[in-house]
Amino acid sequence: MKKRKIGLALSLVVAAGTILGACGNSGSNSGENKKEKDQFTVAMVTDVGGVDDKSFNQSAWEGLQAFGKDNNLTKGKNGFDYLQSKSDADYTTNLNTLAREKFDLIYGIGFLMQDSISEIADQRKKNHFGIVDAVVKKDNVASIMFNENEGSFLVGVAAALSTKSNKIGFVGGVDSELIRKFEVGFRAGVEAANPKAKVEVKYAGAFDKADIGKATAESMYKSGVDIIYHAAGGTGTGVFTEAKNLKKADPNRKVWVIGVDKDQYDEGKVPGTKQSVTLTSMIKKVDTAVQDLTTKAKEGKFPGGEVITYGLKEGGVDISPSQDNLDKDVLKKVEEWKQKIIKGEVKIPATRDELKDFKA
């Protein structure tokens, strides 16, 4: 009987210790959860181009990294992060994953994610989303847009005044409303600066097919084109590859590529030489826009339901700072056109129909 009482007492002590331990753990977890809850978190989903596409996905990620650095955040669930999409089928899944992980702000990078963002935003109305290069009219979605046609006009002027053959190329990724803004602005710039020059337009049908980009560039350069502007994401790396191969085979040959979204001067560097085949680049400051919107959201000023547009006037697009391969006279003309656009003296077309009526 005595032994049974001792056993019962020990059992009660153990049980009490377990309860107290559980309470202690609960309090500890609450503290951790509270800390995580109070700390602003942000993440993004890339399109198929990937986070290292040397284009707009990479630029967006650099914007989140800069935001993280400014706010002492680390990469991961309690700071800033990304998920990479290998195919279109990954978009909705990746966005949903980040929503379940309770990130405060979730980006879809690229117009290809428009439908997926719209779908997830309806399902998760308490979450905040951002989309780049598309408009989703939902109260919990902020849309970031750019006047790519304005920046493309400037590099069109540069191409028109730099070409020796008067044959210029444009390689787009997917033939879409967005990429046609690049094409149309570029063609308008060429036409305004050099009516004798002609622009050959080709679409690869994808943003992640470097082999198609290379084959398209090969065909264009063989036909006498000496400058190609690409708006094709990862596909554009193939354009650079072909130009670099031609330059390496014949260092005196004048073949050029105009980069997009980021300053792609380094992408054009020919191995074993000091030369770059990058004439210039049309930079689209996705990093700045993403960092700006994320800061607003952190401060409780998330512009849900709004469309924020960045053009030349807002500093959202421009010609790249790497200008070693452009003549001073060309740069002077580019600057003249830039100021005209900023002042509203000329409106740059954004569609093929508008291009038909465009007069510089």
> What local confidence, expressed as pLDDT, does residue 184 receive?
98
Q: What is the mean pLDDT of residues 191-204?
A: 98
Edge-to-edge strands of the sheet including 105-109?
Answer: 80-83, 42-45, 105-109, 128-132, 141-146, 307-310
> What local confidence, expressed as pLDDT, does residue 36 receive?
52
Check residue 227 and report its DSSP letter. E
CB-based contacts of 344, cutoff 8 Å, min separation 6: none
Residue 26 pLDDT level (bands cut at 50, 70, 90): very low
Instruction: Give the residue from 72, 9, 67 showing the smallest Cα distance to 42.
Output: 67
CA dihedral 345, 197, 149, 106 (to 10 degrees): -160
> What local confidence, expressed as pLDDT, does residue 56 receive?
86
Q: What is the mean pLDDT of residues 131-136?
A: 97
Residue 4 pLDDT level (bands cut at 50, 70, 90): very low
Show the DSSP H helices in the chain as ranges. Answer: 2-38, 56-70, 90-100, 114-123, 148-162, 177-193, 210-222, 236-249, 286-298, 328-342, 352-356
What is the Cα–Cα distance from 57 to 207, expressed in whole angstroms? 11
Rounded to two decimals, what is the model's pTM? 0.83
> What local confidence, expressed as pLDDT, does residue 106 receive?
98
Q: What is the mean pLDDT of residues 13-22?
A: 40
> What local confidence, expressed as pLDDT, does residue 25 receive?
40
Residue ranges and CATH numbers for the domains of the chain are 38-146 (3.40.50.2300), 148-283+327-356 (3.40.50.2300)
Beta bridge partners of 302: none
> What local confidence, expressed as pLDDT, does residue 6 receive?
39
Residue 326 predicted with pLDDT over 90: yes
